[in-house]
């Protein structure tokens, strides 16, 4: 996204940009979903969108129309093909497939070492993410959004293609925050994803058994084909990612802390941050000054503190949230666009004692 934004903006015409990735980006290694009002930048390559979402809990179920929002889905491979194609059309950008082994900021320039070569740059945007840094500190809890999803095709209609299941908490929680996420593409094809917000990942078999059980018991289907699988792990933490930035090196994407700590949603945040970054680069300031903490960071921190201390509380919190607020307000809040009155409405719909205790523990 950033390389494309730089190539697309005449302001950077006299800059030479090298985009290095160890991978050729020729596989559909992920599916991105995000909500958005009306039309957006990615509409030409969106694979499917939904105007209604389901939320389920043990004894609560709701189906919401989400207008003016839509929940949109973009296949990774469509994004890579489209964006790499654009990037190739810019004379000042080169794509190189190589493994980066070192990035050193020498103040006046940055040295980048790859397996095969060395490069010198004035500015480097680094999206190499390393979990070990997060685990070397204890100030901020580190949870993970971890999941396995199956793209399935059934022999009879089992899905309603108009409704995406945003979170289904009716499944056994086993002391964690566990939910099923279902994206139906047609009556017979869809993605069924077993997701946790927790500190520790599971054995692969446990995710797969849960998906099998859900397809059989909840979707009432026994005859189906698995077309593809996806697997992911997104950090959920308020760790200060920007501490690693220097005058000429800025960490971006998940590595820059652009994943929303409380949800793991990163894609649209990256789109917004990329626009902010392009405007910031025109001011010619040190890259280390690009970032700021705001009140949403504190809200995320409190939620993560609660879920880290007692991971079973997630179901109750998300259930209260969806009972007390419209999905439109929840999306606005997660997009960090609400006013203080709206924040209070959202927060007061959640179990207050959990958040007051977490606030008290952070303050004292």
Ligand X SMILES: Cc1cc2nc3c(=O)[nH]c(=O)nc-3n(C[C@H](O)[C@H](O)[C@H](O)COP(=O)(O)OP(=O)(O)OC[C@H]3O[C@@H](n4cnc5c(N)ncnc54)[C@H](O)[C@@H]3O)c2cc1C
**Which parts of this chain interact with ligand X (CB under 6 A)?**
20-23, 30, 32-34, 99-100, 127-128, 230, 232, 234, 253-255, 265-267
Q: What angle do the packed helices 340-349 and 314-324 form, to 10 degrees?
A: 130
| Strand ranges in 5-141 using DSSP code E only, listed in sequence order | 17-21, 31-37, 48-50, 52-57, 60-65, 69-75, 93-97, 100-105, 110-114, 118-121, 124-126
For ligand X, the nearest residue by Cβ is 253
By C-beta, is 127 or 312 nearer to ligand X? 127
Q: How far is the CB of 146 from ligand X (least distance, A)?
A: 10
DSSP state, residue 260: -
By C-beta, is 23 or 118 nearer to ligand X? 23
Q: How far is the CB of 115 from ligand X (least distance, A)?
A: 9
Angstrom distance (rounded) from CA 173 to CA 188: 27
By C-beta, is 250 or 254 nearer to ligand X? 254
By C-beta, is 15 or 30 nearer to ligand X? 30
By C-beta, is 244 or 313 nearer to ligand X? 244
Angstrom distance (rounded) from CA 312 to CA 173: 7
In sequence order, what are the beta bridge partners of 228? 151
Residue with token string 């959202």: 346
Angstrom distance (rounded) from CA 235 to CA 318: 19
Q: How far is the CB of 220 from ligand X (least distance, A)?
A: 26
Q: Say how many C-beta atoms besides its own lie within 10 A of residue 134's C-beta.
A: 16
Q: How far is the CB of 360 from ligand X (least distance, A)?
A: 32
By C-beta, is 22 or 106 nearer to ligand X? 22
Q: How far is the CB of 302 from ligand X (least distance, A)?
A: 22
Cα 100-240-136 angle, rounded to 5 deg: 70
Q: How far is the CB of 324 from ligand X (least distance, A)?
A: 24
- Within 8 A by CB and 6+ apart from 111, the residues are 102, 103, 104, 118, 119, 120
Q: How far is the CB of 325 from ligand X (least distance, A)?
A: 20
By C-beta, is 42 or 265 nearer to ligand X? 265
């Amino acid at each position: 996204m950033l390389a494309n934004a730089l190539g697309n903006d005449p302001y950077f015409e006299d800059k030479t940009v090298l985009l290095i990735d160890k991978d050729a980006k020729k596989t559909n290694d992920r599916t991105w979903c995000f909500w958005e009002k009306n039309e957006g930048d990615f509409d030409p390559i969106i694979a499917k969108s939904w105007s209604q979402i389901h939320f389920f809990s043990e004894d609560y179920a709701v189906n919401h129309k989400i207008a003016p929002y839509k929940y949109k889905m973009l296949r990774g491979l469509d994004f890579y093909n489209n964006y790499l194609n654009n990037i190739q059309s810019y004379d000042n950008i080169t794509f190189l497939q190589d493994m980066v082994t070192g990035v050193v900021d020498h103040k006046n320039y940055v040295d980048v070492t790859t397996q095969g070569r060395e490069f010198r740059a004035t500015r480097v945007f680094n999206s190499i993410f390393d979990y070990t840094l997060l685990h070397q500190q204890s100030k901020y809890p580190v949870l993970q959004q971890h999941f396995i999803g199956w793209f399935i095709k059934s022999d009879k209609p089992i899905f309603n293609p108009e409704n995406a299941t945003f979170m289904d908490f009716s499944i056994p929680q086993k002391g964690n925050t566990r939910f099923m996420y279902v994206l139906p593409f047609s009556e017979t094809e869809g993605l069924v994803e077993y997701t946790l917000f927790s500190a520790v990942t599971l054995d692969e078999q446990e995710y797969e058994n849960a998906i099998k059980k859900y397809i059989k018991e909840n979707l009432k289907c026994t005859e189906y084909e698995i077309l593809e699988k996806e697997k992911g792990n997104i950090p959920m933490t308020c760790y200060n990612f920007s501490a690693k930035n220097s005058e000429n090196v800025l960490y971006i994407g998940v590595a820059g802390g652009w994943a929303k700590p409380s949800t793991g949603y990163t894609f649209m945040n990256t789109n917004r941050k990329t626009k902010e970054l392009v405007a910031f680069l025109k001011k010619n300031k040190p890259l280390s000054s690009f970032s700021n903490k705001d009140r949403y960071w504190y809200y995320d921190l409190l939620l993560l503190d609660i879920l880290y201390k007692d991971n079973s509380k997630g179901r109750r919190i998300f259930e209260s949230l969806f009972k007390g607020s419209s999905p439109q307000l929840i999306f606005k809040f997660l997009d960090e666009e609400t006013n203080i009155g709206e924040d209070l409405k959202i927060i007061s719909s959640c179990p207050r004692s959990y958040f007051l205790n977490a606030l008290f523990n952070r303050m004292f």
